[in-house]
Structure 1
Amino acid sequence: MVTLAELVRVAGVRWSVAECFQAAKGQVGLDHYQVRNWTSWHRHITLAMLALAFLTAVSASAAPERPAQMAHLTRAHPPIKLTVPEIRHLLAAVFNAPAVSAAKLLHWSNWRRQHLAAARRSHYRRRSGDEPTR
């Protein structure tokens, strides 16, 4: 007999796997293959998943330390952590010889992440009811 808790756990695991495949399709081209045999398909899938694992590991290692106090978050407005799409964009710009300098590219990335952090704070403030809706 399968318990309800076990069914919920399996459904949760399935959801995380589906999210991972969706991210791989959007970020590393998991679904962009045109192959005729299994060996070629296997190589493409392996390299795509390796690229996603690399981007995810870089994103996880670049995460800033979380402050111990929640009040610290309201005074300082750090940018959001580097995400997989942001790291992919930065790496693509570095390896594809961008028209802008590395300093401008990093400035743009920092500005974008600051903007996303402000949007996230505004969203949370509105959802918590602290800010009147129009």
Structure 2
Amino acid sequence: MKIGELVKQYGVSVDTIRFYEKQQLLSPSARSDAGYRLYSNADSQRLGFILRAKSVGFSLQQIRELLLIEDNKAAWQCADVKDKVQLKMQDIRQQIAELEQFYQALAKLDQACCGGALSATECSILTALEQGKPAQPETHQEDASC
């Protein structure tokens, strides 16, 4: 099949497929006499594998590692694959914790600002970011500076 057929089958762009080729995750099985890339069913399945691995959060390097296992399953154990999944889960837990910290910091900044129509010269959010001090919730009236 030609690259356009893969594009239609998986709903990705030609650039995406070419990117995976440049990353050496995917390669066409052959070329036509006119120089078009030709992909086999195995190539199509490989692209599906790459896209599904990407959809659950694996990085290109992690996908590369999974493909090495996929290409030579007999040389690996199921535990090897499970280890990769568990490491990815650990990474995601850490990212979630970091995002929660970002959210809490942003919530404090949000609570500290009245959000009124006053000039941003007195904005408590900008002041906190400039000075590196934690923003304190505003206690003044809507028409006062914040």
- TM bin, normalised by shorter chain, reads 0.3 to 0.5
Under a length normalisation based on structure 1, what TM-score does the superposition of the two structures give? 0.41
Which structure has the higher relative contact order (CA within 8 Å, separation 6+)? Answer: 1
Under a length normalisation based on structure 2, what TM-score does the superposition of the two structures give? 0.38
Structure (1 or 2) with the greater helix fraction: 1
Larger radius of gyration: 2
